[in-house]
Amino acid sequence: PDVLVVNGHRILCVKAQRNPADLPWGKLGVEYVIESTGLFTNKVKAEGHVKGGAKKVVISAPASGGAKTIVMGVNHHEYDPATHHVVSNASCTTNCLAPIVHVLTKENFGIETGLMTTIHSYTATQKTVDGVSLKDWRGGRAAAVNIIP
């Protein structure tokens, strides 16, 4: 197997697989997988990591297919370790905004209107230079110079 050595400490490296069930998590003693590839955000697809031997999977993006979304400080008490083997941690924007909204509504302050601006690094779906976007003409603009909302 491939090994990365850092200060004499040997770390086993796992090569990417198209199917997460093919990853040797159980053999390597991996209990928790952070699914942050963006490819397996559906609960059924992310469960492939469990089939590979992991005990739990946290999807680092909004998930589909029935995965429970857990936001610390908002609904973390709803987590059930016996049934929630694949969970979503929502989005970075949700993790920023939801706790504030939760406190304001829980303490009966309420919210009449709201506006939020997110400053975010480029994502894999954004173009770094102008190009063609089949879904949306705005999506074809270079992210660094695109001010179109």
Residues recognised as catalytic: 92
Contact 104, 116 (CB under 8 A): no
Question: Which contacts qualify for 27-35: CB closer than 8 Å, 24 or more apart?
Answer: 27/53, 28/53, 30/54, 31/55, 31/56, 32/56, 32/57, 32/58, 33/57, 33/58, 34/58, 34/60, 35/59, 35/60
